[in-house]
Amino acid sequence: MRSSAKYIWWFVVLAFVGSFLLYETSGLAGGSSVTTSTAVATVNGEDVLLTNWQRAVSELEQQEQQRLGHALSMDERRVIEDQAYDQLVNDVLLRQEYERRGISVTDDEIRQAALSSPPPGALQSPDLQTDGKFDPAKYQRLLASSQSAAVRANLEAYYRSEIPRQKLFDQVSNDVYLSDERLWQIWRDRHDSATISFVSLRTSSLTDTAVTVTDAEIQKFYDRDKKKFLRPGRAVMSLLTIPRVVTTDDSTATRARIERLRAEIVGGAKFEDVARRESADSGSAVNGGSLGKGTNKGRFVKPFEDALNTLKPGEVSQPVLTVFGWHLIKLDGRQGDTLDARHIQLRIAQTDSSASRTDKRADSLASIAGSLIDQPVRFDSAAKVLGLTPASVIAFEKEPLSFAGRAVPGASAWAFSGTSTGETSDLLDAPDAYFLVRLDSLQLGGQQPLSEVKDEIRRRIAVDKRVEKLLPQAQKLATAAAASGLEAAAAQANLTVEKSKPFARVELVDGLGQFTEAIGASFRVPVGKVSPPVAANDAMIVLRVDSRTEASKPAFEAQKASQRGGLTQQLRQQRVEEYMVGLRESNKIEDHRVKVMSALRRQATP
């Protein structure tokens, strides 16, 4: 049998991309220095060590780089860091919950699971497939092999983690049940339809918009649903940009390079191989430059589309210039309006001499600005010396920063990584520019205090009260419409009757919103009758139901079994997710990452 090393990889991967990871550590964060016993989190008194978090981040980062085919940016790495943190915290929470509930796993359960329920990585491994399908016999031979001790050890670790998790989640979600009546109502919500005529009375028509909102009302609104006022962190930064300006000479040099690639292909090289090696479009390059099958019209930018339309199957285009750079295009096949094509993209980049001049200027910027926390004025000095104008930008936590149509990679992740106000970043390198940022102010995310959202709440309540002021006018209109018809009553009041398209209960409808009183009335009021006034966002609505179509009972019965299976699985998953959210909210979790990262930065500063 071939070496079992390749199989070990699948099971190692599973250990890190599952719902939680196999790191059981403890220790206390000590002193002001970051050490091997420093904790990035404490869960009910149990520490999650920095070393374990870094190891988990490294593993996940390697997997993501293999998937994407390139090194991760700082922003992408920040996402990985959050994933690793959440997994490790969940691991501790779940292990504590197993102990509380008395959930355990036996050696026999592990053996049975390994034999009868191969993990996802094994099911997807090409080496355990025959004719493209998982082959149980190959899997059994792998387990029985004398060379597979490491595989069995990884399997045991996986199932020792997975089986208790499944037992717990079964306890949480096994009572989910959908009756026939509930399934029928869900079906009707999506397949009943109504068509209505309606008149909107909006707050913009009020002559008297004055309303009073008391502090007690604001407090009640805030207390009712504080989760509405969770906010991401917000960083205000100063930004300096040194663009990598490309010239006509740069474009000419890139064209010369793509012409050499075309000559290589015409000379016998496979287009697919050259695309994998050279194309800047990483999404298609891994597939030999394939753009898939589809219609050409409107699918690509016009110069690309025009060039593709002139090609015959098997033909390679001359170099094509678009806003994305220079391209070679190959048409693999054409069937009616459907085209199967490939391309090689080269972005227009600076030549070595141009890039050298830009690099020197960027190095000067970084050297003058420095990165000292207590000398933010050096940033301004650098801008003045190089004739650059700082721009004020705002970054939100977990969202990449963009400015003037350019992505500023890593700036947002840097600002929320324990950076101190006044600190200047290292030089940030992007394909089209160099960037330098200074953190001017930082507002941490999370639950916003009432003082921060009081004005927002006041505005929300005021809108509702203004809608209520429309009620007398709407009642008068409804009474007139019931007597003389909606159109006549609307004309008398100088209002417009709008007509809807057929819509279901769950749809978002223009002028009516989604899940509003107006939507409900459209399925409650008898056909041909006029409704009393009903609210819809910032308006009062008077409506008439013009027609209604009931869902088909035979169609419902025909799909009921599959509907029950799909919805039951969906609701069980939702129950588990809600359980995990509740578990995190009801336990004491202390996140030390910002403090730890800040300490690491201080330790690294000379």
Model confidence at 604, pLDDT cuts 50, 70, 90, reads low
Note whether 208 and 470 are within 8 A (CB). no
Distance CA 198, CA 542 (A): 6
pLDDT at 5 over 70: no
Q: pLDDT at position 515, please?
A: 94
Cβ count within 10 A of residue 476: 14
Q: pLDDT at position 346, please?
A: 94
Q: pLDDT at position 376, please?
A: 79
Average pLDDT over residues 191-211: 90
Q: Per-residue pLDDT tens for 485-518?
A: 999 999 999 999 999 999 999 999 999 999 999 9
pLDDT averaged over every residue in the chain? 88
Fold match between 193-206+452-549 and 248-346?
A: yes
Tell if the pTM clears 0.75, that is, is over it.
no
Structure-block tokens of residue 471: 């009620």
Domain 193-206+452-549 belongs to what topology?
Answer: Chitinase A; domain 3 (3.10.50)
Q: pLDDT at position 542, please?
A: 98
Lateral strand order in the sheet of 589-591: 46-49, 39-43, 589-591
Q: Per-residue pLDDT tens for 11-49?
A: 433 333 333 333 333 333 344 578 878 999 999 999 999
pLDDT at 147 over 80: no
Beta-bridge partner residues of 589: 43
pLDDT at 213 over 80: yes
Distance CA 464, CA 537 (A): 8
Q: pLDDT at position 21, please?
A: 32
Beta-bridge partner residues of 295: 338
Consecutive H or E run containing 19: none
Structure-block tokens of residue 586: 């009801």
Distance CA 194, CA 550 (A): 9
Q: pLDDT at position 374, please?
A: 55
Note whether 343 and 291 are within 8 A (CB). yes
Q: What is the DSSP letter of 496?
A: -
pLDDT at 385 over 80: yes
Q: Tell me, what amino acid is at 20?
A: F
Residue by residue, DSSP assigns 51-67 as: HHHHHHHHHHHHHHHHH
Average pLDDT over residues 387-398: 94
Q: Per-residue pLDDT tens for 397-452?
A: 989 999 988 889 999 999 998 888 999 998 998 888 899 999 999 988 888 889 98
Of 101-115, 294-308, 368-382, 442-456, the least confident: 368-382
Of 353-357, 442-446, 600-604, the least confident: 600-604
Q: What are the start-end ranges of the H helices in 296-388?
A: 302-309, 352-369, 377-386
Distance CA 595, CA 150 (A): 38
Q: What is the DSSP letter of 509?
A: B
pLDDT, greater one: 244 or 6: 244
Map out the domains of the chain as residue ranges. 5-173+588-604, 193-206+452-549, 248-346, 353-444
Domain 248-346 belongs to what topology?
Answer: Chitinase A; domain 3 (3.10.50)
